[in-house]
Structure 1
Amino acid sequence: MSVLKEKAHKIIDQLPDNKMAKVINILINIKEILENSEEIDAYDMQLIEEAEQERKKGEYVSFEEVLKEAGLSEKDLQY
């Protein structure tokens, strides 16, 4: 298993069980997006690294906040 996959597994392992349905839904959506998109290039990796640094500094907006700003709730996303 690659280092990145191991990192992803470790992050998932740290999440509480009661959040796993949301995580699975997000992962399914990501998988579909990736299957229909181009390969990640150096620029994409740079953006990912920058986002990770911002996350570590606490400089991010939570998913819940994004939904609230859009006038949505998690129930609106379920299918």
Structure 2
Amino acid sequence: MRQLADIPHPEAKITLFSWNGKYLIKLEKGQLEQTYKVSELDVTSDEDVRELLDSEFLQAAVARFTQMRTDLQAAFDRHGL
């Protein structure tokens, strides 16, 4: 796996990788992580992948982190952990 870029964002760490014919977009916030895979056949370059990271996509991803945290906490609560 080859790291192509760290993409600055105030609410999440975003890293772009190239691996096995795919671009991987990895978003991290605290202990949570989201990874999106984009086939190299679907875009012409990593610049196209960066274009996907528009404000609408990133707002949804950050909101998803909140839901992920809520889901994990609910599982802990259900099991008394």
TM norm. shorter chain > 0.5: no
TM-score of the aligned structures, taking structure 1 as reference length: 0.31
Indicate the structure with greater helix content: 1
Answer 1 or 2: higher relative contact order, Cα 8 Å, separation at least 6: 2
Give TM-score scaled by structure 2 length.
0.31
Relative to total residues, which structure has the larger strand share, 1 or 2? Answer: 2
